[in-house]
Amino acid sequence: MVPVFDPYDRPGVSVTAFAPGRVNLIGEHTDYNDGLALPFAIEQGVSVTATAIGGRLVEAVVVESGERDTFDPASTAAVPGWRAFVRGVAAELAGEGVELPGVRLEIAGTVPQGAGLSSSAALAVAASLALLAVAGKQPHDRVALARLCSRVENEWVGAHTGLLDQLASLFGEADRALRIDFRSLQLDPVALELGSFRLVALDSGESHALAESGYNDRREECAEACRRLGIASLREATMALAAELPDPLNRRVEHVVAENERVEQTVAALAAGELQAVGELLNDSHASLRDLYEVSTAEVERTRQTLCEEGAVGARIMGGGFGGSVLGLFPQDASPPAGATEVRPGPGARLLA
């Protein structure tokens, strides 16, 4: 239990929050289309230690690089990079009536930035949990907190992303993936029993910033497809409806329709212990993201090729695309290439003792 205190009277109270990054097993570019996805929180993540220091300013420092930012939480000035996430979280919390004390935030991370493992969502989630705790407030509703962090990404950073990363970080569980239905926001834990197989992420080395990539264009294309088809979201789309659209909108819709089905097929394959079939679904997802959704790059293709040559039974681009990491599923008798990181499902965001 975090002690409740008067923020202006008791400087020095310190709390640490940890929020994991995520791997999305399958279900890519479906979240903002009211679709399905199957992510899991990973063991790597971001921790934020918040120490009340008196006064009203927030002083943030990235431990590894020494980069700093000092700001008034009421400020709405636009800033680039990691600072936008921290300022955005503080301002959104203040906007919801959370009285923030003057506070120092020390940020440390084990999840690489721009590698498609959601370092940014992890930073926003950890910062919000730490700030709430140091202000003496527990978040009652984690879905609302996910929305707040997503608003930060949309409005403060300019990436029109969905709720995938924040929900995975907040609701992750050890040994489980999370089937998310973004229409109802129903979250169902799914046992991730890989047997002798293992999942790895291999960074393509091509860093992506979603706000500047083609991500927002894809989102706009999906909205345009809905307008033309007269439907509220692509969850209502079918292959027949997709065929009524001009290229490339038809291919974008085909991807989303088939990707939702692949999520259900992956859940079924996992339940049946058919890991080879999971691998094939990962390969199908990748082909669709490359050819229909067009979010792959030459560097990502080379990275995937490396994973396949080393014996992955399935591999696919992960996250927003246009760079980032490639996920590979390896059987026991194959060794992932140098530089690949094994990714295992770990618990969701939490305060550390």
- The residues annotated as belonging to the active site are 165
Are 58 and 90 within 8 A, CB to CB? yes
Q: Which long-range contacts (CB under 8 A, 24 or more apart) does 265-272 make?
A: 266/25, 266/26, 266/38, 267/38, 267/179, 267/190, 270/177, 270/190, 270/191, 270/192, 270/193, 271/190, 271/191
Q: Quick one: CA dihedral 245, 251, 256, 261, positive or negative? A: positive
Task: Give min distance, CB of 286 to ligand GLA, in A.
Answer: 13
Site for ligand GLA in 260-319 (CB under 6 A): 319
CB closer to ligand GLA, 161 vs 204? 161
Of 320 and 336, which CB lies nearer to ligand GLA in the complex structure?
A: 320
**Closer residue to ligand GLA in complex, CB, 28/34:** 28
Task: Look at strands 341-342 and 186-191 and give their pairing.
Answer: unpaired
Binding residues with ligand GLA: total (CB under 6 A): 10
Q: Pick the closer one to ligand GLA by CB: 25 or 307.
A: 25
Regarding 28 and contact with ligand GLA (CB under 6 A), the answer is yes
> What does the radius of gyration of the chain's CA atoms come to, in whole angstroms?
20
Residue from the set 102, 320, 336, 345 that interacts with ligand GLA by CB under 6 A: 320
CB of 169 to ligand GLA, least distance (A): 11
Residues 6+ apart with CB under 8 A from 141: none
Closest CA to 91 of 63, 122, 131: 131
Among residues 15, 21, 25, 32, which is the contact residue for ligand GLA, using CB under 6 A?
32
The binding track of 144-173 with respect to ligand GLA, each residue x by CB under 6 A or -, is -----------------xx-xx--------
| Type of residue numbered 274 | E
Question: Which residues contribute to the site for ligand GLA (CB under 6 A)?
Answer: 28-29, 31-32, 161-162, 164-165, 319-320
